[in-house]
Amino acid sequence: MAGKTNAKGKVGKLLDAYGRTYSDEAGITLRDTPQPLYRLLVLSLLLSARISSGIAVSTARALADAGLRSPRAMADATWQQRVDALGEGGYRRYDERTATQLGDGAELLLERYHGDLRRLRDEASGDRGELHRLLRQVPGIGPVGADIFLREVQDVWPEAAPYLDEKARQGAGKVGLPKDTKKLAGLAGDDPARFAAALVRVALDRHPRLTDA
């Protein structure tokens, strides 16, 4: 009992210090509707590159500010318009390749799912592994991008929860929480996306603020 209480105390400190999802930081009010789901997919693509999360988040905001909030808008934009929006967010290292991926990905979503990721969800029939596989078919979304999307979407797609990938488990080990997935899942509470994001953030923090957690 004492060990469980201690773990809950660590979770409380973790959430206080790091408990913000990346979608929230990017200004995405996540709902099970087409536009926020697509914006999350774009954010997941940006975050999966070897670039700081801050730049990825600011770039997701810049793309939204440029009106590129849906697969149709992204597909209708010119390649140069996508490059310019990426540059506005500071995403310059991979801007040309990413502009192409965003265009190709939007076209695929329009062709296969009519621009609605809920259709991808339906195709997976509640299977989390199939969700991961289908997401990876979108240009620019690899295993890391699919992990990011499922970590963030699990509050609105409960079949994905609790989604605690290797990066989240690294964060758990860093603050003295169980790295075993089942034990860790028991600590996720009612907001597994926020919990997973906090674990990832602490995993990425070179100077974590929870050394005494």
**What single string gives the DSSP state of each residue in 129-150?**
HHHHHHHTTSTT--HHHHHHHH
Contact present, 81 and 67 (Cβ < 8 Å)? no
Residues written for the chain: 213
What is this structure's pTM? 0.93
174 Cβ contact list (under 8 Å, min separation 6)? 202, 203, 208
Summarize pLDDT for 126-168 with one digit per residue, the tens.
999 999 999 999 999 999 999 999 999 999 999 999 999 999 9
Percentage of the chain modeled with pLDDT above 90? 85
Summarize pLDDT for 73-109 with one digit per residue, the tens.
999 999 999 999 999 999 988 889 999 999 999 999 9
| Residue 1, pLDDT above cutoff 50 | no
Please provide the average confidence, as pLDDT, over all residues in the chain.
93
5 Cβ contact list (under 8 Å, min separation 6)? none
How would you class 146 by CB atoms within 10 Å of its CB: exposed for 0-12, middle for 13-18, buried for 19 or more?
A: buried
- Give the number of other CB atoms < 10 A from CB of residue 127: 12
d(CA 143, CA 123): 19
Query: DSSP code of 53?
Result: H
**What single string gives the DSSP state of each residue in 147-167?**
HHHHHHHTTTSGGG-S---HH
Tokens 């605690």 belong to which residue? 164
Contact present, 160 and 131 (Cβ < 8 Å)? yes
**What is residue 213's predicted lDDT score, i.e. its pLDDT?**
43
